[in-house]
Each structure stands twice: as C-alpha cells, then as structure tokens.
Amino acid sequence: MLELLTLDGGAVAVDQETLNALDASLKGAVHLKGSAEYDDARTIWNGMVDRHPGFVIRALGSHDVQKAVNFVRDGGLVMSVKSGGHQIAGHAVADGTVLLDLSQMRSVDVDPVNKTARVKPGALLGDVDRETQAHALIVPSGINSTTGIAGLTLGGGFGWTTRKFGMTIDNLLSVEVVTADGSIVTASATSHPDLFWAIRGGGGNFGVITSFEFQLHSLGPEVLSGLIVHPIEEASGLLAEVTKIADSAPDELTVWSVMRKAPPLPFLTEDWHGREVLILAACYAGPMDEGEAAMAGLRGLGNPIVDVISPHPFVGWQAAFDPLLAAGARNYWKSHDFAALSSDAIATLLEGIATLPDPACEVFIAHVGGEMARVGAGETAYPERSSHFIMNVHTRWEDPAKDDECIAWARTLYDRMKPYSTGSAYVNFMPEDEADHMAGAYGENGDKLSLIKGKYDPDNLFRINHNILPT
C-alpha cells in the first residue's frame, strides 16, 4: 500500500491492484520507488531538490495525461507535473504526491511552408532548435539548450531573439491542454481565449499542456554572436556605456552583461581563470554585415581581455552557456526587473560581485525590450513589458555546507537592488520561498488570473507551482 497526500491536507492509502489497473490503461507506465525509471523521473536540474513522490506516471501522449488527471482528481490526490525539470523552484516534484512525468514526450514537427512548429511538452530547447534550424527557422526562446520548452513558455520565455521577435508566449499560436475536469481542449485566440490568455505567463496553474503550436521566424543557420571579456575593475564605466548602447540598439541586437569569476574558457589565458570579470554576451538576429555595424560601438569599449564575436551556428550559440548550467549543482536564484540601470544601481551590483560566495555564482543582466515591449501589459498574463533589463542573481555551488552562505548572499544582493527595480518579477526565476512575491509577478493581471483559475480549476488541483488561488 502506498500512502499519498490528498488535496484536503490528509493522506490516503492506494493499493497495488489500483496501481496495476492504472498502469494497464496507459501507453506509458506507472513506476514505483526502487525502479530506475522512478529515480530518473524524480531527478531534476536543481541539485538542491531531492524529493520522493509516492509514484510516477510516465506519460507518452494526451490520453495518458487525461488518465492521470482523472485518477488524481477522482482520488482527491495531489499531483506535480514535470516536463524539462529545469525550474529553479523544483515544482516538478513533491514528496508523497503523484508525479506526472512528460519528459518522454519530446517530438518537434516543423511545417516550413507555414512557418509553424508543433512541440510536445517534454522537448528541450535543444530539441526545438535542432529541428527548426534544419529549415533556418527559430522559435524565440531561452539561452540554455537543456531548458524545457514547456516551463519556459508557460512563464513567458525570453532570450537572444526576444527583442526582434517577442517573447516565447508572443509566438504561441495554440495549445492542447488537459483541464482539471479531464477535458482535452484546444486553447487559442479563437477557442477558449480566456484560457489561452492565462496560459501565456500564468504557469502550470490551468491544466497540463500536451502540445504547443508556435509561429516560427527566419534566422540562421549562423548568427553574429559571442563574448567580450573585460576586467571587473573597468565594469563601472563599461556598464554605464552598455546601458547607453542598449537604449539606442536596433531590435536585432541583444547584449547581456555577466559578472562572475572567469571560468577556464579556452580563449582566456590561464592567469585570468578564477578572477572577477565582466562578460558582455552579444547576439545580432539579422544579416551579418548589419550586425558588424551594430556591434561596432560595443566592441570599441575599453580594453577587452578578449573579443570572440564572430559568426556562429545558431544551434551552437544557444548551447554556449550549457557547460556553466549543467544539471546537478545546487542553485538558488533571485530576480529583479529594471527600467534603467543608474550609477547607484551599478555600484551596488558591483559591491555584491566583490563578495561572490562561490566561483560558480554570477549575476547577469539581460537586455530586453524591443518587440517584447510593444505588447500591452494586459494582452497576456505576463504583465511586465516595459522593463529594459532583467537581473538574475544566479547563485550556484556544489557543497551542501555552503547552502546558508550562498543563499544569504543572494538574498542580500536582491534586497540591496530592490530600490532600483520596478517591483515586478519573472516567475521562471523565482525560488520556492517567494510565494509572497506573486503580486509582483502578475501585477494588475492577478485578479483576472484568479477568476480564470476558478473557472478551469476551482478545486486547485494544479497547485504544485507558483500557485494562483482560484476565485
């Protein structure tokens, strides 16, 4: 007998016969503690998360997802949902619950004539990029190829091409979703438009997505991209200049600023390894010759240690930061949005960099705006369209003994940067302990989201997430 958590806060025993019947009804399978599949399913990207669900349902299609939703709802059970398993808060898995694992549903079907793609929820960004780039097309998404497309999209999604083509949710045409009552519906601008609005930024609160349909854009197979590395001592003046460049940059140009101890990159001499540096990461989503002109001002700043801006395959550029974001390390993030970066904000940020608690820790400032900012705050659930920069205090380490030190550093820097922020937040960067920041994540869209939650999930079946309570 398995004891599982229930929606009313209690527990209930589920016998083997019931599990066998569920397993027999699936194209996928039920996996119990002690099996390799169970351990694989419960293991996610953030090494701090080590949780044990009661059992795992590994789905292979919409029918399996429907069966899983009906099973947990009828039993009054609690369920978590895993797609790519990359979310910092670790909501993909919870102790004593039913884990619905979508990670095996990874197909990507591209229609190059209509420039659309149908993507299953277990696909990673690398899966999507490889298939779309076979046709020199892209879905605007994130910057790490091992990120799951489902979680990224449901929280908003931004990266190197956001300024040119908008957020990931701005390129979402429709979804197939299993709602709390077990219905399989298509949500789009013309079918269940309220649900479609909520899904675009509202996370996994409204159902289980079994398929995404995206609009694609022409780009690649190469882009002008790469890194410019400067000593941290020059960062104050350089960041001020970078913000000016960002203010006047064409939509095709995106520049992210990364501050950290230099990793042992092959193009850095050994004497720089482990020293604090400012890394300017740039990408131009357009013709190479235009990119060279657009990046001239950026490449002319200061006296860089190295400049490795050049044409790169887009698929490779999308995976360039993968070695610094490998699964298994301990992670704790904090995030702010900024309309601008003042000299005081830059000074405060650099004071934090001077006290990095681990060589793997970093802070990055993502350059956004452009097409993303031309969408109204009420057009999708994701409300914060006016920000020009998004900060991630990306705290990362290996030794559990350093947990307190690293988390305290992140919280301190977050608190010190708060006076310069807009007060909003990007939900995909929020750790599990930020439930009180949900108002900042959704702003004036919060009340509408609660009403739609009440319509599609009145009993809050989908609650293991950055939860929106139903009204």
Q: Give the residue-averaged pLDDT of 330-336.
A: 96
Co-location of 67 and 115 in the same domain = no
Co-location of 202 and 253 in the same domain = no
Pairing state between β 98-101 and 55-58: parallel
> Above 90 in pLDDT, residue 295?
yes
Co-location of 328 and 382 in the same domain = yes
Q: pLDDT per residue over 37-87, tens digit each?
A: 999 999 999 999 999 999 999 999 999 999 999 999 999 999 999 999 999
Give just the sign of the alpha carbon dihedral 86, 399, 320, 247: positive
Q: Give the residue-averaged pLDDT of 253-269.
A: 95
Within 10 Å of residue 74's Cβ, how many Cβ atoms?
A: 9
**Residue 175, pLDDT score:** 98
Identify the CATH number of the domain in which residue 49 sits: 3.30.43.10
- 343-353 and 235-248 are packed helices; what angle lies between their axes, rounded to 10 degrees? 130
Q: Give the residue-averaged pLDDT of 161-178.
A: 98
Q: Give, in order, the Cα–Cα distances in Å from 406 to each of 108, 196, 334, 389.
A: 38, 38, 12, 24
Co-location of 358 and 338 in the same domain = yes
d(CA 453, CA 205): 7
d(CA 98, CA 225): 43
Burial 97-130 (b: 16+ CB within 10 A, else e): bbbbbbbbbbebebeeeeebbbbbbbbbbbbbbe
Q: Quick check: is 144 in a domain?
A: yes
Co-location of 212 and 227 in the same domain = no
Task: Please tell me whether residue 47 adopts helix, strand or coil conformation.
Answer: coil
Q: Quick check: is 468 in a domain?
A: no
Q: pLDDT per residue over 8-19, tens digit each?
A: 999 999 999 999
Q: Do residues 427 and 155 touch, judged by C-beta distance below 8 A?
A: yes
Order of strands, edge to edge, in the sheet holding 55-58? Answer: 29-32, 55-58, 98-101, 79-82
Q: Which residues contact 373 (CB under 8 A, 6 or more apart)?
A: 385, 386, 387
Q: Quick check: is 467 in a domain?
A: no
Nearest Cα residue to 78 out of 86, 66, 89, 69:
69
d(CA 309, CA 295): 9
For residue 400, cis peptide bond before it (omega within 30 degrees of 0): no
**Residue 5, pLDDT score:** 96
Q: Which residues contact 402 (CB under 8 A, 6 or more apart)?
A: 330, 357, 358
Q: pLDDT per residue over 366-420, tens digit each?
A: 999 999 999 999 999 999 898 899 999 999 999 999 999 999 999 999 999 999 9
Co-location of 226 and 206 in the same domain = no
d(CA 214, CA 17): 41
Q: Quick check: is 180 in a domain?
A: yes
Co-location of 371 and 232 in the same domain = yes
Last residue of a domain, one of 61, 82, 101: 101
Q: Which residues contact 80 (CB under 8 A, 6 or more apart)?
A: 53, 91, 92, 93, 94, 97, 98, 99, 100, 464
Nearest Cα residue to 164 out of 145, 138, 128, 143:
138
Reported as a pLDDT band with limits 50, 70 and 90, residue 434 is confident
> Above 80 in pLDDT, residue 440?
no
Q: CB burial class (10 A; 0-12, 13-18, 19+) of residue 231?
A: middle
d(CA 254, CA 163): 7
Q: Quick check: is 402 in a domain?
A: yes
Co-location of 56 and 190 in the same domain = no
Q: Give the residue-averaged pLDDT of 197-210.
A: 97
- 403-417 and 343-353 are packed helices; what angle lies between their axes, rounded to 10 degrees? 170
The token pair at 56 is 């795992």
What domain count does the chain have? 3
Q: Do residues 199 and 188 touch, judged by C-beta distance below 8 A?
A: no
d(CA 205, CA 454): 10
Helices then strands (H, E): number in the chain?
15, 21
Co-location of 292 and 413 in the same domain = yes
Least confident of 20-29, 83-92, 424-433: 424-433
**Per-chain mean pLDDT for the chain:** 96
User: Higher confidence at residue 444 or residue 22?
Assistant: 22
DSSP string spanning 95-110?
TTSEEEE-TT---EEE
Q: In percent, how much of the chain has pLDDT > 70?
A: 99
The token pair at 382 is 């994701």
Q: Give the residue-averaged pLDDT of 164-183.
A: 98
Quick one: CA torsion of 331, 212, 438, 66, rounded to 10 degrees?
-100
Q: Do residues 411 and 334 touch, judged by C-beta distance below 8 A?
A: yes
Q: Quick check: is 268 in a domain?
A: yes
Reported as a pLDDT band with limits 50, 70 and 90, residue 1 is confident
d(CA 133, CA 220): 7
**Residue 456, pLDDT score:** 98
Co-location of 58 and 177 in the same domain = no
Q: CB burial class (10 A; 0-12, 13-18, 19+) of residue 196?
A: buried
Q: Quick check: is 348 in a domain?
A: yes
**Residue 436, pLDDT score:** 67
Co-location of 366 and 389 in the same domain = yes
Note the residue count of the chain.
471
* Segments forming the whole domain that contains residue 163: 108-218+443-456
Co-location of 244 and 232 in the same domain = yes
